[in-house]
Amino acid sequence: MGDFMKAIFNLRKIMLVALLLMPSLSHAWWNDQWPYRLPIGIDTSVAGANTKTNVDDATVLVKLHTGNFEDFFVVKEDLSDVRFIAEDDKTPLKFHVESIDLVNQLIYIWVKVPQVVAGINTGRIWMYYGNEQAPAAQDAAGSFDVNTAMVLHFNAAQPGKDATANANNAATITAAPVAAAQMAGGVKFENGKSVVINDAPSLAVHADKGATISFWVKAAELQTDAFLFQRAAANSEVMIGIDQNSVYARVKLPNGVIAETNKVASLRIGSWQHVALSIESNKLVLFVDGAEVASTPLKLVDFSGAIALGADVSGNHAFNGEMDEVRFDTVARNVDWIQLQAANQGLDKLLKPQKSEQLGSGGKSSGFWSVIIGSQDDVGWAILGLLMVMAVISWFVMIGKGLYVNRVHKDNELFLEKYRELGDADPAMLDRDESEDDKELDESPVTQAIFGKHDHFQSSPIYRVYHRAIQETHARIGSSVGARAAGLSEAAIASIRATLDTQIVREMQRLNSQMVLLTIGVAGGPFIGLFGTVVGVMIVFAAIAASGDVNINAIAPGVAAALAATVMGLFVAIPSLFGYNYLMSRIKAATADMRVFADEFVTRLAEYYGNK
């Protein structure tokens, strides 16, 4: 017991420290000229983005819509008031806006994050807004690292414009613009239409660095030997194509070497999917939706050439479908980088905007609970979900049982009042046969208490004991006129007493049914919550060990989220404890009344129906 109390005392100290730390998170503010900010969580522990290594200088997509952002009419129409700040709430981040649609409340912004830490759910950046006097601060060129040679967003205003500083714009673009692609605008290829980008020094590929090609694609139909991407010169080629629903890649080098991956059936017709090809110095690796699907050995040499999308550079091998977010990097990206892009640009798995905060509100607009909820991982949600189910069940039992025992008390009083009024008359005068409705509700005492008729004390366990005794009496002497003369023998009365004892046991079981669910809540809730807290704290410290970065801003939300499991466990246990004690006191009183009545009633039966 001493060790247990010591553990509880230490847990209280941890909770106190966490509560002291969290206000500092809410009150920190980068610049008070910006009255609003949006916390954006970065979760690399989710499925699809569970990276194993940190990704430096990652350009991530922030997608704002009505489901995660409420202040579309607070920001300026051109978003010139928007600023992005790093997790330290001090360092401005480079960013640029791809698309603004304030009418339909949809915004796409690309932000360069210095480092996305692997395998944690406590990362965060801030978006500040609401400063009417702020000048524009977008920096598209600075939003990408030095190894990114070309990025085509295909936005409606300039569909062929390269977003990087290299200006590798499309030389010709015959593909039709699409207003709603995977991310804002895209292009549609049909009837041999294509996009061509001329060769440029910034697009040159060097054998020691490699290259990475990535884009989003939606195939309109099964097709034969269609080219999604080709880069070709006189004696070299890099190609990504599809054959039926299989994707594959081929490299032909100036030295005559040809490397081609297997054709893998991994494309879904009519669905957007992320395709990436990492050209390393010694192999080709093909990815679909962030997962490696094929690879082949390669001895890379320097190469260059014009780029064609949707066909080859001559217009052959036409592709029928749509494409978005084409990116060419002059370095071979690793699997974590590619997984991060696919998860972030796909289903918003990576970034999680939380509730906006307002300067001077003391953090009330987002509050501590927003930080705690936003920091929960899959294990935390599983524990909280289990505890929430237990809480709902316990409340359901307490409310239903409370209504039932109150009805029991009321029907018992009514029956005893009528019973006492009988005086020396026939004690069987209050007995009634069960109706069909009573029989249907007999197995559900709570339903009977709430919706059943109570014209003859249907919810009274004392009446049910009485009813059973009268049935046993009539079974022995009959119920016709003059039956009383037959009388009850001492053996018959003893048998009736045994029957009443049996009925009392059945009524006690009926009264105590489902009470075990409250004892489970009382005993199990705190332990399940403590289990969630221990696991959550373990995950936080494991993340610290993996990243090698001890940052209180990263630790505090995770610890707070872990402690939420213990709070939820107590939320289950405390009401269950009070409800259980109250209900048991009422059940014990009803049980005692039954036993007293049974003893008195057997005596009365012996007096009224006994042998004269």
CATH class of the structural domain 148-330: mainly beta
Burial class from Cβ neighbours inside 10 Å (0-12, 13-18, 19+) for residue 447 reads middle
pLDDT tens for 33-71 read 999 999 999 988 876 677 888 999 999 999 998 888 888
Helices (H), 455-514: 461-477, 490-512
Confidence at residue 402, expressed as pLDDT on a 0 to 100 scale: 85
Averaged pLDDT for residues 109-128: 91
Which residues in 285-309 are b (16+ Cβ under 10 Å) and which e?
Answer: bbbbbbeebbbbebebeebbbbbbb
- Greater confidence, 261 or 7? 261
Neighbours of 14 (CB within 10 A): 15
Averaged pLDDT for residues 268-287: 94
pLDDT tens for 180-199 read 899 888 999 998 899 999 99
Backbone angles phi, psi at 609, to 5 degrees: -110, 0
Confidence at residue 553, expressed as pLDDT on a 0 to 100 scale: 52
User: 0.85 exceeded by the pTM?
Assistant: no
Confidence at residue 551, expressed as pLDDT on a 0 to 100 scale: 55
Confidence at residue 15, expressed as pLDDT on a 0 to 100 scale: 42
Confidence at residue 3, expressed as pLDDT on a 0 to 100 scale: 46
Confidence at residue 309, expressed as pLDDT on a 0 to 100 scale: 96
pLDDT tens for 399-435 read 888 888 888 888 888 888 888 888 777 777 777 776 6
- Greater confidence, 537 or 547? 537
Say yes or no to pLDDT of 448 above 70.
no
3-state secondary structure of 322: strand
Confidence band of 445 (pLDDT split at 50, 70, 90): low
Q: Where in the chain is the domain with CATH 2.60.120.200?
A: 148-330
pLDDT tens for 167-180 read 999 999 999 999 88
Say yes or no to pLDDT of 572 above 70.
yes
* Residue pair 527/502 in contact by the 8 Å Cβ criterion: no
Confidence band of 454 (pLDDT split at 50, 70, 90): low
Confidence band of 255 (pLDDT split at 50, 70, 90): confident
Say yes or no to pLDDT of 355 above 50.
yes
Confidence at residue 8, expressed as pLDDT on a 0 to 100 scale: 38
Q: Which of 117-131, 306-320, 425-439 has the lowest mean pLDDT?
A: 425-439
- The strand pair at 195-197 and 106-116 is best described as unpaired
Distance (Å, whole) CA 278 – CA 212: 5
Confidence band of 221 (pLDDT split at 50, 70, 90): very high
User: pLDDT above 70 covers what percent of the chain?
Assistant: 84
* Residue pair 327/164 in contact by the 8 Å Cβ criterion: no
Say yes or no to pLDDT of 136 above 60.
yes
Q: Which of 174-183, 253-262, 437-446 has the lowest mean pLDDT?
A: 437-446
pLDDT tens for 492-532 read 878 888 888 888 888 888 888 888 888 998 998 899 989 88
Q: Which of 42-51, 99-108, 233-242, 304-313 has the lowest mean pLDDT?
A: 42-51
